[in-house]
Amino acid sequence: MSKKMLGNIMKEAQKMQAEMARVQEEAKQKTAEATAGGGMVTVVASGTGEIVSVKIEKEVVDPEDVEMLQDLIMAASNEALRRAQEMVNEEMSKLTGGMQLPGLGDLGSLLK
């Protein structure tokens, strides 16, 4: 491989690295929302995999059935996190042209 070819490969790698950093930074500003229980529990997660808000309608708060509320919160949280990770993975996939790059199996984990 010639030095020129290697230099071009390195330039492309640096460009991709800069673009990945940009996508990661943008992910901090993006959110995904999910609900459970017919909208009784709403959870918003950031593109970095953090829960940024939880909204619980007072009608679903039953001291006699705390377990149901816990299940609704867990379901909404898991779905919001899944959607946020999917959103970030789609952005990264656009960047990489759908290629699976070694070491980038779970792109969402890079953003934490």
The tens digit of pLDDT for each residue in 23-33 reads 888 888 899 99
Residue 42 falls inside a structural domain = yes
Q: How far apart are CA 15 and CA 55, in angstroms?
A: 40
Residue 104 falls inside a structural domain = no
Q: What is the pLDDT of residue 101?
A: 54
* Token representation of residue 102: 């070694």
Q: What is the pLDDT of residue 59?
A: 95
What's the first-to-final CA gap in the chain, in angstroms? 37
The average pLDDT across 41-65 equals 95
Range of the domain at 30: 3-98
pTM: 0.72
Q: How far apart are CA 66 and CA 85, in angstroms?
A: 29
Among the residues of the chain, which ranges form H helices? 3-27, 66-96, 107-110
Q: How far apart are CA 17 and CA 53, in angstroms?
A: 31
The average pLDDT across 36-59 equals 96
Residues 77-105: tens digit of each pLDDT: 999 999 999 998 888 888 777 665 554 44
State how many domains the chain has: 1
CATH code of the domain covering residue 36: 3.30.1310.10
* Exposure on the CB side of residue 57, measured as CA atoms within 13 A: 11
